[in-house]
């Protein structure tokens, strides 16, 4: 079922949380071109906030200069962004560089086109189900993927926050790029891992489907995270797909 572009509503917000000295998250909303993104700078490297800001700036610059804005060439977008962050990182710290996650969603009618590196996530919520569309590029996820059926393993907590892939650390990087269909009444959330440090996706599923609009939902999400200690920066972009019955 086709979803006209004027039948979706989106809202994004970022918050420093209660335990961090600075906010290293950034987000992007372009309603005109239906492009949305979240970037989370790596705190273990210098200038995490710079890395995420550069990623978002380059995304905006690409949209401004590209001759084809109807469908992003996400491979080119991620290559351009990675090059900018990589080169800037060399000037910041020759030895360590800088880095960030980046997850981009481009809505093309009834299809989400997604580009993804790191552990910012895209989750699709429907009335009776939810589905994380992105795969976390973390040591923990690698361990889970390598388990045999029925096998269990101890996974240290820090493995869940140790990235195996990000923007800016290598001269070139390969992003996960794929498509997924959407339907009227679907709700999509792009978020940094500061969200899921304080709540489970089952709880978020209940809350997002009960919300009347994306702004109130995102603001309540951030408030809940901070009420529960705000251990990290909290960033979310919520997209609500709607349609007028004929």
Q: For residue 160, give the nearest of 129, 186, 138 by alpha carbon.
A: 138
pLDDT at 160 over 80: yes
Domain containing 204 equals 5-241
Backbone angles phi, psi at 221, to 5 degrees: -60, -45
Give the helix, strand, coil percentages of the chain, each rounded to 5.
30, 30, 40
pLDDT in tens, 178-213: 999 999 999 999 999 999 999 999 999 999 999 999
pTM for the full predicted model = 0.93
- The per-residue pLDDT for 145 is 79
Mean pLDDT of all residues in the chain? 92
- Is 34 contained in some domain? yes
Domain harbouring 37, CATH code = 3.60.40.10
Q: What is the pLDDT of residue 243?
A: 62
Calpha distance 166→168 (Å, rounded): 6
Inform me whether the pLDDT recorded for 5 exceeds 90: no
Tracing tokens 């895209």 back to the chain, one arrives at 122
Torsion of CA 157, 159, 165, 168, to 10 degrees: 70
- pLDDT, residue 66, reads 75
Select the more confidently predicted residue: 155 or 244: 155
pLDDT over 50 at 245, yes or no: no
What average pLDDT does the segment 167-181 reach? 97
Give the model confidence (pLDDT) of 11-47 as tens digits.
999 999 999 999 999 999 999 999 999 999 998 888 9
Burial of residue 172, with CB atoms counted within 10 A of its CB: 0-12 exposed, 13-18 middle, 19 or more buried: exposed
Place 175 in a pLDDT band, splitting at 50, 70 and 90: very high
Q: Where are the alpha helices (DSSP H) in 115-213?
A: 139-145, 201-210
Q: Report the phi/psi class of residue 194: left, alpha or beta, with left for phi > 0 and alpha for psi in -120 to 50.
A: alpha
Q: Answer whether residue 95 is part of any domain.
A: yes
Tell me if 96 sits within 8 A of 170, measured CB to CB.
no
Query: Which among 96, 93, 102, 81 is positioned nearest to 24, based on CA atoms?
Result: 102
Local structure of 215: helix, strand or coil: helix
Q: How far apart are CA 51 and CA 86, in angstroms?
A: 9
Q: What is the mean pLDDT of residues 52-77?
A: 89
Question: How many domains are contained in the chain?
Answer: 1
Tell whether the model's pLDDT for residue 244 goes beyond 60.
no
What is the structure's pLDDT at 1?
A: 47
Greater confidence (202 vs 159) lies with: 202
Q: Which of 137, 246, 242 is nearest to 184 (CA)?
A: 242
122-157 tens-digit pLDDT: 999 999 999 999 999 998 888 887 878 888 888 888
pLDDT band at 214 (very low <50, low <70, confident <90, very high): very high
* Positive or negative: CA dihedral 56, 168, 105, 157: negative
User: Would you say residue 121 has pLDDT above 70?
Assistant: yes
Contacts of residues 210-217 at CB distance under 8 Å and 24 or more positions apart, as own/partner, are 211/240, 213/9, 213/11, 213/240, 214/9, 214/10, 214/11, 214/187, 214/238, 214/239, 214/240, 215/11, 217/11
- The two three-digit tokens of residue 55, written as one number: 């990623």
**Residue 246, domain member (yes or no):** no
């Amino acid at each position: 079922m086709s979803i006209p572009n004027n039948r979706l509503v989106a809202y994004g917000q970022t918050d420093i949380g209660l335990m961090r000295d600075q906010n290293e998250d950034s987000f992007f909303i372009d309603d005109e071109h239906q492009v949305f993104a979240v970037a989370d700078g790596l705190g273990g490297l210098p200038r995490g906030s710079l890395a995420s800001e550069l990623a978002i700036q380059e995304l905006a610059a690409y949209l401004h200069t590209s001759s084809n804005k109807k469908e992003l060439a996400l491979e080119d977008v991620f290559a351009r962004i990675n090059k900018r962050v990589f080169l800037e990182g060399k000037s910041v710290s020759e030895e360590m560089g800088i880095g960030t996650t980046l997850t981009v969603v481009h809505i093309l009618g009834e299809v989400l086109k997604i580009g993804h590196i790191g552990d910012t996530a895209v989750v699709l919520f429907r009335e009776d189900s939810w589905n994380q569309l992105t795969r976390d590029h973390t040591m923990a996820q690698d361990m889970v993927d390598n388990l045999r059926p029925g096998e269990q393993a101890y996974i240290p907590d820090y493995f869940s926050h140790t990235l195996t892939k990000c923007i800016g650390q290598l001269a070139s990087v390969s992003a996960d790029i794929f498509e997924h269909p959407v339907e009227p009444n679907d709700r999509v959330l792009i978020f940094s891992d500061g969200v899921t440090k304080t709540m489970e996706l089952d709880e978020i599923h209940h809350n997002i489907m009960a919300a009347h609009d994306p702004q109130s939902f995102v603001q309540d999400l951030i408030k809940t995270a901070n009420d529960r200690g705000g251990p990290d920066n909290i960033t979310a972009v919520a997209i609500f797909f709607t349609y007028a019955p004929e």
